[in-house]
Structure 1
């Protein structure tokens, strides 16, 4: 990657023939250079990633303390669900054997 000017960096990117064809079509239609297309695409990607990161953080903040009013741990809850599922499976296996 070569530094160009003070604020930009030059780099090389490889595209498949299909990608290049689609990109060139967009560039012609929007009258922009491939470099501009790549810069816009990278900026869009970075914004999407940042928005997703913020959404995840918000979901984590919103769920913090969700178990504070419960009198059992997450592991105990998980064990109970597994026990119930196993009992249900055993009942279904048993009733399937009886119907044979």
Structure 2
């Protein structure tokens, strides 16, 4: 079920929205819906995949043993939890 709402925009916001509407052919309402979805919606799978792909190898230039690193973190956490 769709809900209808009313918002108040500044002149500058309205002008930007109107310009984008004319440029893309999308209605003002559609642009507002897209902006809300982009800001507050669930992440899209393509975005999640892209983020994972971009992060792959990010620590490749580091010279350390990943298993030892994790163990060191766990020991520190166990000590902190025991306090």
1:43 to 2:37 alignment: yes
How big is the alpha-carbon RMSD for the aligned residues of Structure 1 and Structure 2?
A: 2.9
Cα distance in 2 between the residues matched to 1:72 and 1:9: 52
Structure with the higher fraction of residues in strand conformation = 1
1:69 counterpart (61, 64, 75): 75
TM-score, length of structure 2 as denominator length: 0.52
Cα distance in 2 between the residues matched to 1:29 and 1:68: 54
Q: Answer with 1 or 2: which has the greater Rg.
A: 1
Q: Which ranges in structure 2 are unaligned for 5 or more consecutive residues?
A: 44-71
What is the aligned residue count? 55
Greater relative contact order structure (CA < 8 Å, 6+ sep): 2
Q: Which ranges in structure 1 are unaligned for 5 or more consecutive residues?
A: 1-6, 52-65, 77-100
Q: How far off is 1:40 after superposition?
A: 1.0
1:33 counterpart (27, 45, 68): 27
Spell out structure 1 runs of 4+ moving beyond 6 A.
Answer: none
